[in-house]
Amino acid sequence: MDEKVKYNIEFPIQASPQLLYQYISTPSGLSEWFSDNVNSRGELFTFIWDGSEEKAKLLNKKSGERVKFRWLEDEEEGDSYYFEIRIQVDEITKDVSLMVTDYAEEDEVDESKMLWTNQISSLKQVLGSA
């Protein structure tokens, strides 16, 4: 299998970091914009899209700041890929951004970024900050 490449994307967003954190760290928040439904049992999250399931392990989280997941499929294959959603607040302007770090096959990076752009767009609609 090809090595995946790491990429980062920044999404400016008009919402309080506390509110955003609820949407990126809880099953109910994630199911509002990231997938059709999300269940969690401890650190194991199950994301459901159109009837198919993907499981991810919550690697770490810092309250009000970030969450980091690894798809179980990657973990089982011994890969250290992950995806992280981080809330960044500019100290001077207080502008809030979501920073997404993810991995994709080299020829799928643009497609993967487009998917994140669509997902974050859904989040902005839910937040009313589109």
Read off the CATH number of the domain in which 28 is found. Answer: 3.30.530.20
Is it the case that residue 32 has pLDDT exceeding 70? yes
Domain count, the chain: 1
Structure confidence by residue, pLDDT tens digits, 51-79:
899 999 999 999 999 999 999 999 999 99
Q: Which residues span the domain enclosing 16? A: 4-124
Strands (E), the chain: 4-12, 37-41, 44-49, 52-62, 66-71, 83-89, 96-105
pLDDT above 80 (res 46): yes
Residues 6 or more apart whose CB falls under 8 angstroms from that of 87 comprise 17, 20, 21, 24, 64, 65, 66, 96, 97, 98, 99
Distance of CA 83 to the CA centre of its chain: 6
Q: Tell me the two tokens of residue 127.
A: 């937040």
pLDDT of residue 34: 96
pLDDT in tens, 90-126: 999 999 999 999 999 999 999 999 999 999 999 999 9
Determine, yes or no, domain membership for 129: no
**Is residue 69, in this structure, part of any structural domain at all?**
yes
Would 92 be classed as within a structural domain? yes
pTM: 0.93
Reduce the DSSP state of residue 77 to 3 states and report it: coil
41, part of any domain: yes
**Does 70 reside within a domain?**
yes
